[in-house]
Chain A
Amino acid sequence: MAASSKSAVVLKAVKKIAVQFCPFESNVRSTREFLLFVGSEKARSTNMNCEVITTVKHDKSEPVVDVTFVDGERLLMKGAKLTTREMLSAFQSRCTAKDPQAKAGVKK
């Protein structure tokens, strides 16, 4: 899957991202690719305080991405039946929804 995000992932409004998956399952591809996008240098450079925690399990559980935002909101994505694009778009839309509020406030 080619890079589907033209705009880089902005993590300014994100406090913590916890990714857990079981690598021996077959439905893990989208979660792993999401982890790659979120853990890349570009994404991490937007917010150095954001922690990306990866847990590798072996209990046939579903892959789950748990995002905690700065204002306390939590986004839980169960990546078993989701594609990387869907996960990224949902995540980015929420990030940008929270972010330009701060940016617009600063500009004004």
Chain B
Amino acid sequence: MFVLSPLDFLHKLRVQLCRPAAAEAGWLPVTQSVRHGSKAVTRHRKPIHILKQKLLAVTKYVPPTPVVPKGAYPSERQEVKEESGFVLLLKRELKKLFQDYKMVAVAQNCNSNAEDMRILKHRLHRHGIAVKFFPNQVMCSFLSDSVYSNMAPLFIGPTVLFVSKEPKVKEMLTSLRSSPQMTLLGACIDNTLLSAQGVVSYSKLPSVSVVQGELVSGLAMMTAHTASMLQRHPAHLSALLQQYVKQQSSEEAPKAEEAT
């Protein structure tokens, strides 16, 4: 007598259960229905049972309607947002920027590819001008606290900062003219705010030494003239003084007549 293993026994039992009298007829059923329960965790969204749906609909949270619509009145408490570390870092950088760099120019770029930006940056770098980008919000909040608050309305839309230690305006203007999409809005040179036209006229100014020379020569001319007059013959000088006194008296006489 051979011992049937439990698996064989179950297999035979299943086969016997699944194959009723039809097995003797000689055909096997094509489909075998296997019952199994539905899973709880599915990959798709399982449709909620109707009873649960009804319960959720009945017990749904309905917030109370505000008497006053939300945007009608300003909020009583002013929310003071703490600035994140990144914003503080940017502000520190801006502070250093305004201290170190003499010229800070603001331009708006409609659209420039990376290629155009690269070429422009290269051109400006040759003259020692750096190109900086800062977020407008940070910029505006920094400017409103600092001395340069009048620059704040310039920063709308995509803006670029051109900064340099020496105010090299001519070179900057020539490089900007070659890129049509950059529009110069204004500049802060030597702590003076200039408009676009102001920048152009600044570029046309002669250098500081030339202006100083002109001023000195203008002042010196008066004194030189006086010195040369005094060095002339004293008779000439006395004649000049008499003429001057006559002119003064003749001017006073008509004035007195007009008054009377």
Residues of A within 8 A of B (CB): 23-26, 28-29, 32-33, 35-36, 39-41, 44, 52, 54, 56-58
Residues of B within 8 A of A (CB): 108, 110-111, 113, 150, 153-154, 156-158, 181, 183-186, 195-198
- Flag if A39 contacts B156 (CB, 8 Å): no
Q: Once the chains are docked, how many angstroms separate the CA of A34 from the CA of B184? A: 17
The listed residue (B157, B158, B196) touching A56 by CB distance below 8 A is B196
| Closest chain B residue, CB of each to CB of A44 | B111
- Flag if B111 contacts A57 (CB, 8 Å): no
Shortest distance in angstroms between A31's beta carbon and chain B's nearest beta carbon? Answer: 10
Which A-B residue pairs are the 7 nearest by beta carbons? A39-B110, A58-B195, A56-B196, A23-B185, A54-B183, A41-B111, A40-B111
- Flag if B157 contacts A26 (CB, 8 Å): no
Q: Can you give 15 contacting A-B residue pairs, CB < 8 Å?
A: A23-B185, A24-B150, A24-B195, A28-B153, A32-B108, A32-B157, A36-B157, A39-B110, A41-B113, A44-B111, A52-B110, A54-B183, A57-B196, A57-B197, A58-B196
| Closest chain A residue, CB of each to CB of B196 | A56
Besides A33-B157, A36-B157, A58-B196, 8 more A-B contacts (Cβ < 8 Å) are A24-B154, A28-B153, A36-B110, A41-B111, A44-B111, A54-B183, A57-B196, A58-B195
| Closest chain B residue, CB of each to CB of A40 | B111
Q: Once the chains are docked, how many angstroms separate the CA of A28 from the CA of B152? A: 13
Q: Once the chains are docked, how many angstroms separate the CA of A28 from the CA of B183? A: 14
- Flag if B153 contacts A26 (CB, 8 Å): yes
| Closest chain A residue, CB of each to CB of B181 | A39
Q: Once the chains are docked, how many angstroms separate the CA of A29 from the CA of B153? A: 9
Q: Once the chains are docked, how many angstroms separate the CA of A28 from the CA of B155? A: 11
- In the bound complex, residues from chain A placing their C-beta under 8 Å from that of B196 are 56-58
- Flag if A28 contacts B156 (CB, 8 Å): yes
- Flag if B154 contacts A23 (CB, 8 Å): yes
| Closest chain A residue, CB of each to CB of B107 | A56
Shortest distance in angstroms between B195's beta carbon and chain A's nearest beta carbon? Answer: 4
- Flag if A56 contacts B110 (CB, 8 Å): no
| Closest chain A residue, CB of each to CB of B183 | A54
Q: Once the chains are docked, how many angstroms separate the CA of A27 from the CA of B56? A: 51
- Flag if A24 contacts B153 (CB, 8 Å): yes
- In the bound complex, residues from chain A placing their C-beta under 8 Å from that of B185 are 23, 56
- In the bound complex, residues from chain A placing their C-beta under 8 Å from that of B110 are 35-36, 39-40, 52
- In the bound complex, residues from chain B placing their C-beta under 8 Å from that of A23 are 153-154, 185-186, 195
Most buried by B among A32, A33, A40, A52: A32
- In the bound complex, residues from chain B placing their C-beta under 8 Å from that of A28 are 153, 156
